[in-house]
């Protein structure tokens, strides 16, 4: 869990515009296509959906998972994978202890709040279609690339 917390501290952007949201979505799509990953990708700036893409092999169920995981990331201001891990670390599950409707909330990996330095959380990026640890890893890879390249080069 410490690694997930450290990861969250590291993945803070210098800015996040609508264009950045679109480009981050395209980066995620590129990574997913390279791996033939059957995912749905959703990137939001605030409450507004800026990018949504469904790749071959994904299903309408993935759309529902996107919404459920995104709600967790928004509500807890933390990656959905980390939220689930926090509940498991307490010896329980999100479903048993959160008192939230499991039809609306899922603490499974794949949704990450987008945080901007000096501002806070300004959006979310979510992937669904792979096992939860892989959904989470795909989002982290894209955000890491963004932080290490585009985010700090003005483009």
The answer to whether the pTM exceeds 0.75 is yes
Each of the 155 residues of the chain gets a pLDDT tens digit; together they read 788 888 888 899 999 999 999 999 999 999 999 999 999 999 999 999 999 999 999 999 999 999 999 999 999 999 999 999 999 999 999 999 999 999 999 999 999 999 999 999 999 999 999 999 999 999 999 999 998 886 544 44
pLDDT score for 150: 61
Q: What is the pLDDT of residue 17?
A: 96
> What pLDDT score was predicted for residue 155?
45
pLDDT at 88: 95
What is the reported pLDDT for 102? 95
**DSSP 8-class letter at 125:** E
Residue 107 Cα distances to 26, 45, 150, angstroms: 25, 21, 29
42 Rama class: left (phi>0) / alpha (psi -120 to 50) / beta? beta
Going along the chain from its start, the domains and CATH numbers come out as 2-148 (3.30.450.150)
For position 6, what pLDDT does the model report?
85
Tokens of 65: 């998972």
Give the closest residue to 94 by CA, choosing from 105, 103, 104, 110.
Answer: 105
């Amino acid at each position: 869990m410490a690694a997930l917390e450290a990861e969250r501290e590291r993945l803070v952007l210098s800015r996040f515009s609508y264009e950045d949201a679109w480009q981050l979505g395209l980066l995620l799509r590129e990574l997913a296509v390279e791996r033939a990953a059957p995912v749905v990708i959703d990137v939001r700036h605030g409450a507004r959906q800026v990018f949504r893409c469904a790749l071959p092999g994904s299903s309408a169920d993935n759309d529902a998972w996107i919404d459920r995981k995104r709600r967790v990331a928004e509500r807890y201001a933390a990656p959905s994978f980390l939220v689930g891990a926090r509940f498991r670390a307490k010896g329980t599950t999100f479903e048993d202890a959160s008192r939230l409707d499991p039809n609306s909330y899922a603490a499974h990996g794949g949704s990450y709040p987008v945080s901007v330095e000096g501002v806070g959380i300004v959006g979310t990026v979510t992937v669904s279609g792979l096992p939860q640890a892989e959904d989470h890893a795909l989002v982290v890879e894209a955000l890491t690339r963004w932080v290490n390249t585009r985010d700090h080069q003005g483009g």
